[in-house]
Structure 1
Amino acid sequence: MTASLNNQQDSCQCPKVGPLPPHTDRHDGRTNVSTSLLYLVKRTELAVRARLEELLKPAGVTALQYTALTVLDRHDGISAAQLARDSFVTAQSMADMVRALESRGLIRREPNPANRRERLILLAAPGRRLLSEYAEPARRLEERMTAGLSAKETDAFREALNEAWRTLS
């Protein structure tokens, strides 16, 4: 399966996102969507998600489920509420996602020793294997996204995105 994953990046049939429309300055106070950062960030997020969905299709997980698994890989043994916040979904969406991931054996739940009413979510061995198997294809997708940038520009892009997130959080 790993060999098929290595070839999958090059054969991704995800919808292509076209180039930016030509820049035209607007003097009427309305936002030019081709230069609006909100528009550009959302368009990029949708392109990344489409390609990630295609990449993950053989594993039978969605991009959002993959995000939750990567959160657990970094912060194992957290509550569903915290997992929802860190995965950028609602608590209800996370409840459904946890059931789906648990039924596939990718995660497990255990009682929280500090709060008997709460259960902690942990990454199970099959979830760790899935993340390990898809780490390289996901890294290549990220490299593809920044292929037109130098290493210095990629670092600056990463820092700018983090700063924008910190400012809005």
Structure 2
Amino acid sequence: MSKSPSPEPPHPAQDVTQHVGYLLKRAQAALRGAMDKVLREHGLTVPQYATLELLALRPGMSNADLARATFVTRQSGNVVLRGLQDAGLITRPATADHGRARPARLTEEGRARLAAVQAAVYAVEQRMVRAIPPQRVAALLADLDRIATALED
């Protein structure tokens, strides 16, 4: 039985901990941990916070649209929306006008909770951005967008 040659790595690296995917995952895990910490103080989870941010930007989004935008399944998105609704942070009609979509909107309490937590979350992002020379931030954002686009096919 002949041994097939090992595939070539995508770039020179001493070990897997220097691969782009590993470093992206490490950064994502660190971001998630820092966000979890500050959001817990405000009684929110990362998906709940992301949902509030998106509804402030685009009121009336459906569960399916919110789930896609917050990187959770539709079922998980529905659980997030129910929790926010039970907490009085969003409203949704009891029934859909057409189809199955029930557009969600922030309540005044939802807007207040979002405003109260934004400074803490933005401070986490600021810590991240400060680690990068200012002249490289725009290029990093463009590179991350290109990476995501390349993998979405």
Task: Give the TM-score normalised by the residue count of structure 2.
Answer: 0.83
Is residue 2:141 matched to residue 1:141? no
- Contact 2:62 2:102 (8 Å CA) reproduced: yes
Q: Distance in 2 between matches of 1:33 and 1:124?
A: 46
1:97-134, Cα deviation, whole Å (9 max, x unpaired):
11111100111102554x25431111221111122112
Query: Who is 1:79 aligned against?
Result: 62
Number of residue equivalences: 142
* One-letter amino acid of the structure 1 residue matched with residue 61 of structure 2: I
- Contact 2:53 2:114 (8 Å CA) reproduced: yes
Is residue 2:30 matched to residue 1:47? yes
3-state SS, counterpart of residue 85 of structure 2: helix
The structure 2 residue matched to 1:118, chosen from 101, 106, 110, is 101
Query: Who is 1:61 aligned against?
Result: 44
Which blocks of at least 5 consecutive residues in structure 1 are unaligned? 1-26
Q: 1:37 to 1:87 in 2, by over 3 A?
A: same
Please identify runs of 4+ aligned residues in structure 1 that moved more than 2 A: 27-32, 110-113, 166-169
Higher mean C-alpha deviation, range 82-91 or range 128-137: 128-137
The structure 2 residue matched to 1:132, chosen from 103, 115, 118, is 115
Whose radius of gyration is greater, 1 or 2?
A: 2
Structure having the larger proportion of residues in strand: 1
* One-letter amino acid of the structure 1 residue matched with residue 70 of structure 2: S
Is residue 2:19 matched to residue 1:36? yes
Which blocks of at least 5 consecutive residues in structure 2 are unaligned? 1-5
Q: Distance in 1 between matches of 2:65 and 2:7?
A: 43
Q: Distance in 2 between matches of 1:150 and 1:112?
A: 48
Superposition RMSD in Å: 2.0
